Structure 1
Amino acid sequence: SFVFAAVWPCAFSVTRYSITEEMERGSVVANLAADLGLDLNSLQDREVKLDIFTNKRYLDFNKKTGELYIVENIDREYLCPAKPTSCFLKLDVVIENPLRIFNIELGITDINDNAPHFRRDKVELDVSESAAPGERFSLPNAVDPDVGINTIKTYKLSASKHFTIEIQTGSDRTQYVDLVLTKSLDREETAAHHLILTAVDGGVPVRSGTAIIVVRVQDTNDNPPRFDNQIYTINMTENTPIGTAVTRLNATDLDEGLNAEIVYSFTLYTSEKTQDVFALNSNTGDITVKGMIDYEDMKMYEMHIEARDKGTHPLLGSCKVVVYVTDVNDNYPEITIQSVKNTVPENIPVGSVVALVETSDRDIGENGKVSISIHHAMPFILKKSSDKPEQYELIVSEALDREKVPEFEIRLIVTDSGTPPLSDNETITVRLLDVNDNAPKFPKSTYTIRVMENNAPGSLLESLSAFDPDLHENQYLVYVIIEKEIANTSVSMLFSINPEDGKLYALKTFDYEIEKEFLFHIEARDSGSPPLSSNVSVHIIIVDQNDNAPVIVSPWRAHGSVVEEKIPRSTDKGSLVAKVIALDTDSVHNSRITYQFLQVTDATLFSLDQYNGEIRTMRMFSYRDPRHQRLVVVAKDNGEPALSATVTIKLSTEETAVKAYSDMTEVPLEYDIFSDLNLYLVIGLGSVSFLLLITILVTIVLKCQKAKPSKAAPPSRNSVISERNSTIADSTLVSNDAYWYSLFLAETRKGKLVVRQPVPKGSRYIVSSIPRGTGLTDTSDSAASTLQ
C-alpha cells in the first residue's frame, strides 16, 4: 500500500513505501504523480530530480507516467549491514518551477536470499589424545546477513563417535557452538578426525552453510618402544676385526614426534667387559665390534639393551642379545718359567735341575695341545715332571766348562696342534760361575833372553805374561823368581820381577867377559783357593859388546911403546923378523884381530901377515938399505866400531953373523935364561905356579863330570889350542874358563920361551905358541906340557 503525503513548499512530510529485495529492475514502486497529486501535463515542462542518499541510484522517475520504478536491484544486506530490524532507502523528489520537495522512504523487506557461511571453510583443532571425555572446544560461528527468520536457526555436526556439538545463545541472541569430546581419543588408532559442521537458517526455502572441522589428535607418550624380538642369538668367531657389524636392532614406537624417537642403550645388566668389546649406536641400534673378541676370555656375551623414547615422560622397551663365540687357534702356547738358576758353578754335578718350566695354551681341543722342545742347548735336556704333565725340568746332561762356554742361551720352543700350528719360545740364560780349575800357562816353555853386556841396572829385560782362563781372583796372577844360587850369588840379587805384570828386570850390569849366561825359573801363581801355579825356564844370554880394545902382548914393551930389535944384514928372504901378537878379551867375533902396517920405512923390504902378525923379509938387505928400519903395526879387532892398538918396532941391522931363526930351536935355552926379561918372567911364573896348579886340577874335575870332549888336533906350527872346545885357530883363541890366564910368548934374538903369567881381571884367554919346524922340539914339548 502507498501512503501518500503532499509536500508543500516549506512543509515537511514523508511518504513511505514498502518493497522487497526480490523486486527486479523496471518494477514500479509507486505512482508518485497520482499519490502526490501532480499534473502530468505540467510535469512535462518542469525539471524533476531524485536525490537518493546512497552511492547508488536504485530508483528513477518517469515524468510521462508519473511512476517511481527500480533501475538497480536492491540488496537489503548491503544497505543495512548492521542487520537492523527495519531497513529504509531514503530519497528526495525535487520538482522545480515552482520548487517542490517530497521526502520518500522505501521500507525494504528481507527475503532469505543469503545462506549461512563460515568465515573459514576449514577449521583445524589440536586435541591431545589424553583429553578426557566432556572436554569442550570452541568452534567458529557461521554468519547469515539475512535477518529475522531468515538468519541462522541451528547447527548440525556430522556423525562421530568421539564428538558432538552444543549450541550456546548469548545475551545478544547470538548462537555459539562448542565441540564436545564424548569418547577418549587414540592417536595410534585415528590420528585425525574429519567433521562437517552445518549452519542452517529459518528461511523458506531453508539455506545452509558448512565448514570442515579437522581434529588432529595430539600424541601423548602412551606407547613404549617394542623390539622385533625379545632375544637375539648371534654366533661369531673370535678375533673378529674391529668395526665388524654384529646386528641391527629395530624397536618401534606407535607414538609420534619425540614420543616416537628412540634412543638405544645398554642397561645396567650389561657388564662393562661386554661393553668394552661391543659398541651400540644409540640412534640406529647397530651393534658393532669395538674390542678384541677372545674365546679364552669370554665364551658368551650377553647384552641387555633398552630402547627409550624422547617423550616428556619417556617409556622404554628392552631385549637381550646373546653372542656365542667360536674358538679359533689364535692363542700362542705359553712357557712359564716357575724357577730358574741363572748362575751355577761350572762344576755343577750332572743331573742337577737348573730350571722348572710349565707349558699352557688358552685354546681348547687340538688348538690347546702343546709340545715343547729345546733348541741348541747342549748340554742340557728337558725331563717331564712327575707331578704335573705340563711341567718340565731343565737338567744338566754333561759336565760344564766355563772356559769353553761361559754362558748358555737355552731356547725353549712350544708348539700347539692347531691348523696352522702356533709356536712361541722362551730363552733361559745360564751363566757359569768360575771355579779355580785351571793353572796359569806360559805361552813358551822356555824364554831365551839376550842381554847386551854393559846394560844399565834396572833395565827391562822381558815381559813374561802367563794366561789363566779362570776369572776374578782365580785369574789374578803373582809372578815370583824361584830362588837359587848362581856362582855363589842369589838369583834375586841379579834379577827382579814385578809380581803383578811379570816384567823382568836386571839388577846389575853384566860383563860378558865374566858372565856369559844365567838359567833360572819363574813361577806364576793365581789367587784362587787353593792356588794353582806353573813355572817357566828363563835362559839369560849375555851378548858381547866390543868394549875391549886389543892388547899387544908380543913383542914385549916393558919400556914404552917402542920395541928395538937387531937382525943380521945377511938375513935371508922370507926370514921371520918379528911376530906381533895382540889379545882381545871380547867374544870370538869382536876378538878377531887383523894386522896392518901403519908406517914402514921401506915397503919393499918387509911383509906383514894380516892374520898371524908375522913380519918377514921380502928380500935380502942390500948395501943401499938404511941400517935402521922403523915399522909401526896396528892390531885392529872385528867389532863395530873397531878398536885397535899399535906397536912401533925399530930394527937395526948388524954385520955380525947370526944364525937364522930357523935354527933357533937348536940354541940352548940357557943362553938368555937369566936376562932381565927372563928373570921377570921366571919370578912371575914361580909366584903363580901354585895357583895355576889348583886351577888345572879343578878344571880337570869339572871336565870329568861333563861329556868327554872331542879329541884335540895335534899341535902344529903357530897354533893356539882352547881348553874348552879344542878349537884350533891361528895365533889367538877365546877360552871360557872360570879363571883366566894367558901365556905370553916372549921373543928374543936367541930363541923362544913359553911362560905363564896371570892376566889382569877380565882376561879370558890362554895363548900358546909352538916353535917353527916340522918336528916338536924339547922347547915345544915343554910349551905344550905347560899349556896342558
Structure 2
Amino acid sequence: MGVGGAARRSWGAAVLVLQAAWALGGGQVRYSVPEEAEAGTVVGRLAQDLGLEAGEAEARRLRLVARGRRASVEVSGASGALVVSSRLDREELCGKSAPCALRLEVLLDRPLRVFHVEVEVIDINDNAPRFPAASKNISIAENSPPGSRFPLEGASDADIGSNAQLSYKLSSSVHFALDVKSKDINKVSVALVLVQPLDRESLSEHRLVLTASDGGRPALTGTVQLVISVLDANDNAPQFNQSVYKVQLPEDARPGTVFLQLSATDKDEGLNGDVYYDFTETISDELKELFVIDRTSGEVRTAGKLDFEDFQAYDIEVEARDRGIPSLSGHCSVELEVLDVNDNAPEVWVTSLSVPVSEDAALGTVVALLSVSDRDSGPNGRVRCAVRPPSPFGLVATFAGSYSLVLREALDRERVSEYEVEVRAEDGGAPPLRAIRGLRVPVSDVNDNAPAFAQAVYTVLARENNAAGAELARLWARDPDEAGNGRVSYSVAEGGVGSGSGSVWRPASSYVSVDAESGRLRALRPLDYEELQVLQFEVRAVDAGEPPLCGNATVQLFVVDENDNAPALLPPAGGGTGPWAAGEAAEAGWRATGSAASSWSSGSSWSLWARAAWGAPAGQVVAKIRAVDADSGYNAWLRYELREPRGDGPFRVGLYSGEVSTARALEEADGPRQTLLIVVRDHGEPPRSATATLSVSLVEGPEAALAVGAALSGSVGVGSDSGPSGAAAAAAAATNVWLVVAICAVSSLLVLAVVLYGAGRWAPRAAVLAGPAPATLVCASEVGSWSYSQRHSRSLCVATDGAGKSDLMVFSPNCPPPPGPGPDETPQDPPAVLDTVSAAHQLMAFPSFLFFSLPFLSSHSLLPILCVRATFSICVLMWDFVTPSTLVF
C-alpha cells in the first residue's frame, strides 16, 4: 500500500481530467478520476459544465441519483463540483473489466431536468502480483532429458493494462531456466525448463525463487518458492491431443451438461501409462463448484448454474496425470465462452417521486422519475415501458432508460382519493420478460366539504344527580376532506333554559360542555329534574380548512327523574291552629312532636293525634294523612301502609287516600288509646318513605263530637291530649249563648231534612253517585314523566301556598269503598263521593256545617246518617248547656 500511496500522491496535486465535455446530442458529461483518490478530491466542475450560474446549483438542488449501487462521488452543494465522497477501488467496482465507468444521473429541480454523467475510474498500480501459494512443490524424474518443460502457475494482478503486465525472473540455477511465452495480450505461459540432467544422488532437492514483476511505475513484485524434488523412474508425462480447448455454452445450461471430452496419451506402459484427469491445483474453489471432470473418461460437465451477467468466459486449467512413481502430468487449458440468454427481467427504479398530487394540479405535472435497465445484452436488454391500467397518468421518455410519469387528465379527489399506478417494463427477448413497479399516488384536496353530523337532532337522556363531568353522549360529524380540512372541532353554539318574568336565563354552556376533539358531551354539574326537565341547544362542528366550514346539530337533553326525594308529611290545612276547611274535619288535633314540631319535611317521623267515639261503625274516617313527594311519575306516587298494629286492629288506612278509618266497630276492649304507626312510601327504586305516629283516643260519642266541633270552630289549640285545660273551659262557657242559637237552627234544619228526605224517598230516583267512574289512562312520556288523560282534568294542591303539581297520577275507581272492613284498599275515592262524605262528617261534627251539606241531600243513602248525627249532636249540646262545667272541647 506504500507504493499505492505514492501513486496517489503523484495524482493528488492535480486531478487528471481526461475529458469533461458536454455532448449536445447525447446529453452526457464525462470525467475521469484515478482510483484511491482521497475523499474531497474534485472530479470536475459539474455545475459549470452544465452551464449553471454561480449559486444556481444549490438553489435548484443539484444532486446525484445512484442506479442500483452505492455512489462513491457526490455533488458539493455550495460549489456544484463533483467530488470524491468515499474510497474508489477500481478492482472492487469493475474487477478486470476495462474501462471502468460509473454511470450517474444528475437531477435539477425547478424545472426538473435529468443529466447523465459518466466518471471513468483510472487504474493505478496499487496491487502487487500474487501467486496462488507461497510455495510450490515440483517432482522431476532424474532421467528427465534436458529441455523438459514443467508448467508453472503464473501470478495474477488485480490491476489492468500495463499495471497488470507481468514479467518473471528465476533465481540463478545451473540446472533450470525459465521459459515465458505470451499466449495473447492478457495471458502468459510460464514453464520451468530443465537445462542440465539431474543427479539425484548428488542433489535430491532444488529450491528456487520465482519473482513476478508488473509494469507499473514503480513496479510491484510477488514471489513463490519452488521446491523441486528429483525422482527416479517414470520419465514420460501424459500429452493432450491439443493444448487449448475452446468451447461455447449457453448460460441456461442445466447442471450436469457434458460440454467437453478430454483426451491425453502416455508413452509409458503399465501404471506409468495409466492416465487420469483432474483440475490443476491452481484452479479456484468457485470453478470447482461450477464444473466437474470424470477422472477416468475425461468428460467435463457443469455442476452449477452459469450466469452470463457475472462471468462471460472461464479459463480452466486441466492436467492429465499418470500413476507412475513419481507421477507425471500433462497440462491443457479449456476456454469456455458463456452465451447470453434472456434470463433477466427488466428492473424499474423510482429515482424521484413527488406525492401527493393536488386535485387541481395542471396537466403535464411531473409526478415521478423512473429509470429502467436490463442486465442482459443485445435485444434481450432493450426495454419498452407502459402504464397499466389506463389512468390519468402517462410515461414520457427523456433519455435512454429514463422516463417521466406525468399527469394527463384532471383529478377529482372526491371520486378517487388514491391511484395504484403500475409501470410495466418488457424487454425484446424471445420470449420477452416483464417487470412491474407499483406506485401509490395519493391525491390531496381543497377544503370543499363542510362537516356533517350523522343526525340533525340528537335526543339525549340523562338521569338527574349525575356526577359532574359524566359523559352524556358522543357526537360525531363526518368531513370527507383530509388533514386540516377534515380535522373537526366541536363547540356548544347556542341554547339555554329560562324565559318569562321572574326566571333567569341560563346558557346551555353552564350545564354541558363538548370536548373539542372527541365530541363527547359531558355534564358540567349534577342535573336536577325538579329544576330542569329539557335543555335544547346547538352543537357546531368546524373544520380547520382555509376558509373553515361548519355544520350544526340540535341536541335535546331530557333529564330523567330519579327517586331522590322522600315523601314529605303535610300539616293539617290551616297550619293546625285555626279552623279547618270543609272535607278535612276528620283530621282533628294533629301535631308534630319534638323540636321539629313547627317544620314539616321529608324523611321524618311525626306524632299526630285524633279522637274516635266508642261504638263508631266500620268505615268511619278518623283522620287523614297528607303527604307530598317532590319527584314525579312513579317516584311521586304515594301509598300509605299501616305498620303497627299488625293483624286485626280496629283501624285501617287507605292505600292511596291516606284516610284512617275504623276497620270495625270500636269496643271498650280496644282500650282508651290506640297508637298507629303509618308509613308513607313512594313507588321509586329504591323506594323512599316517611313515618307518622297517630295516637287515637277512644272517648264517648258526645265528647268526641265536641272535640271535633271545637277543632272545627278554631277555638281549640294544639296541645297535649291528656285532658281539657282551664282556658278551654272558660271559652266554652262564653259560647253557650251561641250554642243555643245553633241548637235552634239545627232543629229547624233537622225538620227540613226530614221533609226533604221524605220527598226524595218517594220522588223519582236521581242518578246514583256510586256508579262506574270514567276510565283512567296513564301514559309514560319519552322523558320519564307521567301524565294522565281523564274526562275531568284537575290540579291537586299539595302545599299551603296553593302551588299545583301537574304530574301526579290520579286514579278514579269504579266504585266507592265498602262501608265494612276489608283486606284490600281501594284507590283514591272519586271526588264526588269524597265531597259527599266530607259534608256528612261536617254535619255530624258541628251543626253549623249543615248549611254546606244541602247540595248532597238528594243522596238517599247519606240522608239517614246525617239525620242521626244531627240529632245526636243536638242532644249532646243540650246536655252541655244544662251542665256547662262538664263541657270539654
> What is the TM-score when the length of structure 2 is the normalising length?
0.39
More helix by percentage: 2
- Structure with larger Rg: 1
> What is the TM-score when the length of structure 1 is the normalising length?
0.43
